[in-house]
Amino acid sequence: MALSKRQRAHAIRAGQYGLLVVVVAALVLTADWEQVRKAFFNTEIAAAMFPNVITVALKNTILYTALGFAFGLALGLVLALMRLSSVAPYRWIAIVYIEVFRGVPALLVFIAIYYGVPIAFQIQFDPLSTVMLALGGVGAAYMAETIRAGIQAVPKGQIEAARSLGMSSARATVTIVIPQAFRIILPPLTNELILLTKDSSLIYILGLFREQYELTKFGRETLSRSPSLTPILIAGLCYLIITLPLGHLSRYLEKRTGGKKISTPESTGLGVSA
């Protein structure tokens, strides 16, 4: 009995659902839930993490991310404009910067700035400046490519209209092109922000005081003093407190801008994770 194309598609889909149910059921039945509960859901340890996990760790994660993102966005915009400049050396500098900082792990950039710069220049950055420069420096390389794609997605007629009204090239870029480019790239930029949030954990390499801990360091430090993995679960949930609204925002913005997506192959990952 030959199945029609539609019947075959139905059969295949039913098979896929069935497989999914079997896999989930197998995982649920074979897991040792008592052990999992002991390892991850120790309410005493969880309670002991408060309020510091919020007032110190979550606050610092947000602070470090915000510093890195602000610096990265500004530098990324400059790099994007250099990348599109008619002046060849600007383009070369931007390309070299982007290739280097997107190619090396963010962790190495943290180390270079915190430990390398003082050796070379007798300038010691404090951790806050380091996280801004390192996180922003790496983020800028990614954001530069995103912003460049956004600028190039602004219709040429917009620039011609601006120029025909007597605006200089620079004026047209600032007043007409960049505001439109940012509207287009808001969703991918939100994505970069989420990636930076997670990479802010790399600051652990600087050796921090207790009040400088962010979520990952805080979770690991608590972990080392407790017989349970609960701190990791709490830290993870705190990351979601930041990233879930951002993801929601990103989808909302995407819908609002009519689903016009600018995808750069580079906007999908950011350095290493700790």
Partner 1 sequence: MSDVVVEITGLKKSFGELEVLKGIDVRVDRGDVVCVIGPSGSGKSTLLRCVNLLEEPSGGKIVVHGVELTDPDVDIDRARTKIGMVFQSFNLFSHLNVLANLTVAQRKVLKRSEQEAQEIALRNLERVGLSDKVNAMPAQLSGGQQQRVAIARALSMDPDVMLFDEPTSALDPELVGDVLGVMRQLADEGMTMLVVTHEMQFAREVADRVLFMDGGYVVEEGPAEQVIGAPRHERTQSFLARVLDPTHQGPRGA
Token pair belonging to 232:
């990791």
Q: Which is nearer to partner 1, 19 or 165 (CB)?
A: 165
Sequence-distant (≥ 6) Cβ neighbours of residue 89 within 8 angstroms: none
How far apart are CB 78 and partner 1 at their closest, in Å?
21
- Considering only 9, 74, 118, 160, the residue that binds partner 1 (CB under 8 A) is 160
Query: Contact 228/38 with Cβ under 8 angstroms?
Result: yes
Q: Which stretch binds partner 1 (CB under 8 A): 85-93, 159-167, 227-235, 242-250?
A: 159-167
Residue 234's Cβ-count burial label (10 Å; 0-12, 13-18, 19+) is buried
Sequence-distant (≥ 6) Cβ neighbours of residue 175 within 8 angstroms: 162, 167
CA distance 23 to 31: 12
Sequence-distant (≥ 6) Cβ neighbours of residue 146 within 8 angstroms: 76, 185, 188, 189, 192, 262, 264, 266, 267
CA distance 213 to 191: 24
- Considering only 51, 103, 157, 259, the residue that binds partner 1 (CB under 8 A) is 157
How far apart are CB 183 and partner 1 at their closest, in Å?
6
Q: Which is nearer to partner 1, 180 or 264 (CB)?
A: 180
The pattern of x and - marking residues 168 through 187 that bind partner 1 according to CB under 8 A reads: x--x---xx--xx--x----
CA distance 13 to 49: 45
- Considering only 18, 116, 118, 155, the residue that binds partner 1 (CB under 8 A) is 155
Q: Which is nearer to partner 1, 21 or 161 (CB)?
A: 161
Token pair belonging to 140:
């800028």
> Contacts for 48-54 with beta carbons within 8 Å, 24 or more apart?
48/222, 49/218, 49/222, 49/231, 49/234, 52/218, 53/215, 53/218, 53/219, 53/234, 53/235, 53/238, 54/238
Q: Is 164 in the site for partner 1 (CB under 8 A)?
A: yes
Q: Which is nearer to partner 1, 70 or 161 (CB)?
A: 161
How far apart are CB 175 and partner 1 at their closest, in Å?
6
Q: Is 220 in the site for partner 1 (CB under 8 A)?
A: no
CA distance 51 to 56: 8
How far apart are CB 75 and partner 1 at their closest, in Å?
24
How far apart are CB 176 and partner 1 at their closest, in Å?
6
Q: Which is nearer to partner 1, 7 or 158 (CB)?
A: 158
Q: Which stretch binds partner 1 (CB under 8 A): 1-9, 20-28, 82-90, 153-161?
A: 153-161
Q: Is 260 in the site for partner 1 (CB under 8 A)?
A: no
- Considering only 51, 103, 166, 259, the residue that binds partner 1 (CB under 8 A) is 166
Size of the site for partner 1 (CB under 8 A): 18
Residues in contact with partner 1 by the rule CB under 8 A:
155, 157-158, 160-168, 171, 175-176, 179-180, 183
